[in-house]
Amino acid sequence: MLSYLPARDGLLSLGWNITYPGPPIPKDPTYGVGTSTHRTTLSGATIEFRFKGTAAYLLGDAPAGSYTVSIDKGKAVPGKPDSARGVLAALTGLHYADHTIHLTVVKSVQVSVSGAILTVGMGKPGVSPRSRVIEAVLMDGSIRSNPFFDFRRPDGTSSQLNWKIDSPKYRYNSDNTPMLLTGAMTTAGGKSSQGSTASFTLNETSAFFIRGGMLANASEDRFSVTITPPSKVGRPQSRTFMLNSSWGDPNEILFFESGLNRDLSYGVQIKSEVAGKDTFFGFRTVETLDAGSFSANAASHALSSNAFAGLAILFVCMFRKLLR
């Protein structure tokens, strides 16, 4: 997950500013068109990127020496960008494990970040990863919520009264060509919706994304994701995020998790943490990735040579502030 601090989305001199390349949509000039980038000139601004895998490439543009990069609490080293490829930092040959990368701006010049590419080890060697898209709203003849998800009120009772179906939306590419998206399940409006949850179970999954909407200037929008593995594997892990942007985008990557054991079942709970009357949370799809089981021998070999099945994933910028 990419987290930006300070997550102000205002002046470049005060923190990270989110920018979309496409011309504004006349009917809604706050609508983000194309793929976003983040820019700042604030010395001390940081990006934290956490993932499980064997390699990561941070993408963007900046002068040499204007930032430092560190990994897993190691020594921060001056940035040496590869401008021809648009790469700020390349960290390769890593052991297959959880890693944390920090980029810190050290000079008051513009640093621009457009995303990241990471390699996630998963599954059997030679097996092509399979993807699956699970839509929150089904539109096969009638429009209804997907029973794959268990929607509940804040008091835990099974009800969709705090959730509603949001109609399909268009997302616009950089050239303003439209792309129709599916509907979304959303919750909005005051304390009555705070704590509403959507839960589901993942099987045969090595990694997954959650995609959803982000309203412009909705600085109080918050959500949490809790992943519960089998009790013999570990304890539930929960993280809370704040959505913060002056732009709206109906199909952002809200959350990503890798390093799951595809032979186990995981419970996932999405919780709306919003409280203000004009706050909003919604999700559109859950996208899963899988490349089959891998043997102990294959996994051991992979740790030393990165030879087992891998997946290169491109992240566009996500404006998230990790709260806990």
pLDDT digits (tens, 9 = 90+) for 70-114: 999 899 999 999 999 999 999 998 988 889 999 999 999 999 998
159 — pLDDT class (breaks 50, 70, 90): low
188 — pLDDT class (breaks 50, 70, 90): low
Residue with the bigger pLDDT between 219 and 203: it is 203
Mode of pairing for the β-strands spanning 87-91 and 130-135: unpaired
20 — pLDDT class (breaks 50, 70, 90): confident
Per-residue pLDDT for 201 more than 60?
A: yes
Per CATH, 2-125 and 130-290 having the same topology is answered: yes
pTM above 0.85, yes or no: no
**What local confidence, expressed as pLDDT, does residue 245 receive?**
63
Rounded Cα distance between 23 and 5, Å, is 27
Residue tagged 């496409």 (tokens): 22
Please state the separation of Cα 202 from the chain's center in Å. 18
Q: Is the omega angle on the peptide bond into residue 6 within 30 degrees of 0, that is, cis?
A: yes
42 — pLDDT class (breaks 50, 70, 90): very high
The overall average pLDDT reported for the chain is 78
219 — pLDDT class (breaks 50, 70, 90): low
Secondary structure class of 129 (helix, strand, coil): coil
**b/e code 97-130 from CB counts within 10 Å (16+ = b):** eebebbbbbbeeeebbbbbbebbbbbbeeeeebe
Least confident interval from 8-12, 61-65, 73-77: 8-12
Number of Cβ within 10 Å of residue 16's Cβ equals 27
**What local confidence, expressed as pLDDT, does residue 308 receive?**
35
Per-residue pLDDT for 66 more than 80?
A: yes
Superfamily of domain 130-290: Galactose-binding domain-like (2.60.120.260)
**What local confidence, expressed as pLDDT, does residue 122 receive?**
59
Per-domain residue ranges of the chain: 2-125, 130-290
Superfamily of domain 2-125: Galactose-binding domain-like (2.60.120.260)
Mean pLDDT within 153-170: 76
Per-residue pLDDT for 211 more than 50?
A: yes
